[in-house]
Structure 1
Amino acid sequence: MENYRKTEILGQGAYGKVFKGQDLRSGQIVALKRALATNEEEGIPSTTLREISVLRTVSECEYVVKLLDVISSKTKSGKSVLYIIFQYLDCDLRTFIISNKKKNNGLHIKLIKHFVFQLLLGLKHCHDQGIVHRDLKPQNILIENAIRIKIADFGLSRNFCVPVGRYTHEVVTLWYRPPEILLGVKCYSTSVDIWAVGCIMAEMILGRPIFCGESEIEQILAIFKILGTPSVKNWPSVYLLKDWHEFPQWKSCEIHKLFKGLDSDGIRLLCSFLHINPSKRANSSDSIESVFFDDIRDFY
C-alpha cells in the first residue's frame, strides 16, 4: 500500500469502505475498496473474493470498470485486509440522470441509445464469460466523460455455468428485481440482468424509476399494474412458483403511451427487456442487433 495514498472516503457498506486515492507512482486517481476480515476463522468476505475473481475475468472489456491491482495487507492490530484498486470515475448513472434530465422527462434519446448499447455490450461480454451480474442498477453503472459507461460492483455476481445451484434471492436491489425472483424462483440466469437493463432504460427515458415498491409485495404489484398480471397463457409455469398466489387481475397498460418519446423500434426493444416471462426475455446478443441502434452502431 506504500504505492497508494487514500484521500477521502467515498462510501461504506457491509463489507468495508471505498476510498478515493492516488497511485503515487503515476499520479493516477484511483478508487480503493477495502475489505477487512470479519474474523480470523472466516477471513476475507466471500463477496470480495468473488468480486476479484469475476473482475479478473471481465475487466478487460472497455464497458466494465477496470481492475488495476489487488493488495493483501495487515492493519496495525494485525487483522487481514484486502484492497481492490479500480480506475476512479466520479459519477454514476443515477447521479447523471438527476443532473441531466429534462423537465418532467429523462435524458435525450440519442444519449439513452448510446448508454443502453454500451450496457448491452458490457453484459454480453460478462454473459459470454459465464458471469451474471445480479445487481445492475444506475448506482452500479459509472460514467466516464459523460458518454462512456462502465459496469461496476460485481460483489454479488457469480458464475452461472453448470451445475446450476439455488441462488440467493436477496440479490437485486428491489426496484430492479425481476418478477421471477420476487415470486420465489429457485434458479435463474442472465435474464435477471436483462430485466434490470429494461428498468434502467425506462428510468433514463422517464427520469424516474418505473417500478417503485417499498416491499417485495408492493414491488410485484407495481410490475403487474403496468405489465399486467401474468397468466397461464403468457407464463405457463408462474403458478408453480413458491410465492405465487391469487393476485388482482390487471391488464397491461399501453406502453407506447407511457413512453411517448420512444419510437416503435425502441418500444419493441424495451418490451423485450421487460417481458414478464423470463424465458421470453431478450438476450444481450440479440438485443445488440436491434434496429433501434442502427443510427449509432457505426460508433462502435
Structure 2
Amino acid sequence: MKRWTSPKPVASVRFLLPTPTSPKFGKADSYEKLEKLGEGSYATVYKGKSKVNGKLVALKVIRLQEEEGTPFTAIREASLLKGLKHANIVLLHDIIHTKETLTLVFEYVHTDLCQYMDKHPGGLHPDNVKLFLFQLLRGLSYIHQGHILHRDLKPQNLLISDTGELKLADFGLARAKSVPSHTYSNEVVTLWYRPPDVLLGSTEYSTCLDMWGVGCIFIEMIQGVAAFPGMKDIQDQLERIFLILGTPNEETWPGISSLTLFKLERFTQYGPKNLRQAWNKLSYINHAEDLASKFLQCFPKNRISAQAALNHDYFSNLPPRLWELSDMSSIFTVPNVKLQPEVGEGMRVFGKNNSFSKSLSNSKH
C-alpha cells in the first residue's frame, strides 16, 4: 500500500486581517449573529453568518477583563490556528479585537464526535471508525510535524461535519514545542483521556501525550463506552489503566520511580491483559487490537506516532489515493470513500443543540 509521507512543514499563510483591500474582514459588523450555541466561563459561542460571503460561521466571543487584558490562552489559540491549514483542523477565518472582546471566527461545523457517539450508542460502524481515526491521525501528524501538541484530545474537541469530515478543534491548551527540555503543566487533558505519565505528575512530554488520547478515543468509537472512565480521582483513573495494561515498574517503564506521584505500594499489582479481554469488539476487526495496543502504552516512548499509525495494517483496505492527498483535500474527495449508515439510522445533520459550542465555550479562555 502507499506509504504516508511527511507533510510539508507548517508554513506561514495569508491570514484574513484588516487590510486596505479587504475592509470587511476584522470588523464585528461583518458577521450576523443568528443564535447562541453555548456559554462558558470566559467565552460565548454563537452561530453566525458572514456578510462578506454568506457562509455560516461559529463566533467565539471571549470577554476581556480590563485589569487582566487578553487571556493568554486565547492569544495562543489564535496564533497557532492562523498558521494551520489542513482539511482535518478547524479553520480560523478571522479575528476581531475590540476593547471589550476578542472574537475568533471559525468555520461552522454541525456536531462533534461526542454527540455523534451519543446518537449512535453501542459502538460505531467499523468502517466509520476507520475513516474518523484516519482523519484524526492526518490532522495530528500535520500539527506534530509542525512541533505543536494539542494536549486536550477528547471526543468533544473533534468536530464532525454533515459529510463526515473530522476536524481537530479547541487549541486553547495547545503548545508549540520547540525545545525538548521544556516542561509543561500536567493539568492538561480531561481525566479519562489523560495518559498515565501525566497522571503521575510528569511534565516532560512530547507528541506521545496526544497519542494516548487517540487510543482512548479509538476504543470508545469501537466499543461504545469510554476506555478508562475514572469515577473518583487520579488514583482511581490509574487503577483502571493498570488493571488492563498491567501495573508498571522500573523494568517495564524505565524512570517511573522518579515521577512525583508514583509509589509502587499505592497500587494493586496487576499483570497485563490482552485488550480484547477488556474490549471484546476489538477481536472482530482486523488489526484493531494491535493498533490500539500501540497507542495504549504506559511507557510514553513506546507509543506509536501519528505518522507511523497511518501506515498500520489496520488501514490497509483503504484506497491508496488517501495517502496522496494534499493537506487541504478532504478524504471524501476520493471515489467510494463515504460514511456508512450507523445501525438503525442514517447520517443526520445536527442542528441547534449541537455540542460544537461545548468545545469552544468550555475551553479555558
1: distance between equivalents of 2:154 and 2:238? 17
Tell me the residue number matched to 1:46. Answer: 72
Residue number in structure 2 paired with 1:87: 107
- Does residue 235 in structure 1 map to residue 253 in structure 2? yes
* Residue in structure 2 matched with residue 17 of structure 1 by the alignment: 44
AA at the equivalent of 2:71: P
1:111 to 99, 120, 128: 128
1: distance between equivalents of 2:238 and 2:207? 20
Q: For 2:47 and 2:181, locate their aligned partners in 1 and report how far apart those are by CA, in whole Å.
A: 37
Deviations 1:154-187 (A, max 9, x none): 0000111115322111110110000000000121
Cα gap change, 1:264 to 1:110, in 2 (>3 Å): closer
C-alpha separation between the residues in 1 aligned to 2:210 and 2:38? Answer: 24
Distance in structure 2 (CA, Å) of the matches to 1:257 and 1:193 = 24
Q: Relative to structure 1, is the Cα distance of residues 244 and 261 closer, same or farther in structure 2, using a 3 angstrom cutoff?
A: same
Corresponding residue of 2:32: 5
Question: Are the counterparts in 1 of residues 95 and 103 from structure 2 also a CA contact under 8 Å?
Answer: yes
Which one has a larger percent strand, Structure 1 or Structure 2?
1
Task: Give the deviation of 1:149 after TM superposition.
Answer: 0.2
Q: Shift of residue 39 of structure 1? A: 2.5
Matched residue of 2:201: which SS?
coil
- Of 271-280 and 24-33, the range deviating more from structure 2: 24-33
Q: CA distance change for structure 1 residues 5 and 166 in 2, over 3 Å: closer, same or farther?
A: same
1:205 deviates by 0.8
1:265 offset after TM fit, Å?
Answer: 1.5
The structure with higher relative contact order (CA 8 Å, sep 6+) is: 2
User: Percent identical across equivalent pairs?
Assistant: 40
Q: Which residue of 1 aligns with 2:61?
A: 34
How much does 1:271 deviate? 0.5
SS in structure 2 at match of 1:272? helix
Structure-2 change in CA distance of 1:163 and 1:192 (3 Å): closer
- Three-state SS of the structure 2 residue aligned to 1:57 is coil
Q: Contact 1:37–1:45 at 8 Å: present in 2 too?
A: yes
Q: What CA distance in whole angstroms lies between the structure 1 residues aligned with 2:42 and 2:194?
A: 22
Supply the distance in 2 between the matched residues of 1:129 and 1:248 (Cα, whole angstroms).
Answer: 40
SS in 1 for 2:61: strand
Q: 1:38 to 1:170 in 2, by over 3 A?
A: farther
Q: Does 1:288 align with 2:310?
A: yes
Give the letter aligned to residue 272 of structure 1: K
The CA deviation at 1:232 is: 2.0
TM-score (normalizing by structure 2):
0.77
Please give the secondary structure, in 1, of the residue aligned with 2:82: helix
Offset at 1:98? 1.3
1:259 Cα deviation after fit: 3.3
Residue in 1 aligned with 2:275?
Answer: 255
Structure 2 unaligned segments of length 5 or more: list them. 1-27, 323-365
Matches within 5 A, 1:1-300: 1-40=28-67, 42-58=68-84, 60-74=85-99, 79=100, 81-101=101-121, 105-162=122-179, 164-214=181-231, 215-245=233-263, 246=265, 247-262=267-282, 263-298=285-320, 300=322
Q: 1:186-240 deviations in whole A, cap 9, x for unaligned?
A: 2111111000000000000111111011311111111111111112221121111
- Residue deviations 1:61-99, cap 9 Å, x none? 10000111111123xxxx3x1110000112100100111
Query: For 2:163 and 2:278, how far apart are their aligned partners in 1?
Result: 27
- The number of equivalent residue pairs is 290
Asked if 1 retains the 8 angstrom alpha-carbon contact of 2:244 and 2:278, the reply is: no
What is the aligned-residue RMSD (CA, Å)? 1.4
Deviation of the 1:272 alpha carbon? 0.4
- Return the offset for 1:146: 4.3
Alpha carbons 1:117, 1:288 under 8 Å: kept = yes
Helix, strand or coil for the counterpart of 2:119? helix
Unaligned runs of 5+ residues in structure 1 are none
- Confirm or deny: 8 A CA contact 1:213 1:219 kept in the other structure: yes
Q: 1:264 to 1:232 in 2, by over 3 A?
A: farther
TM-score scaled to structure 1, two decimals?
0.93
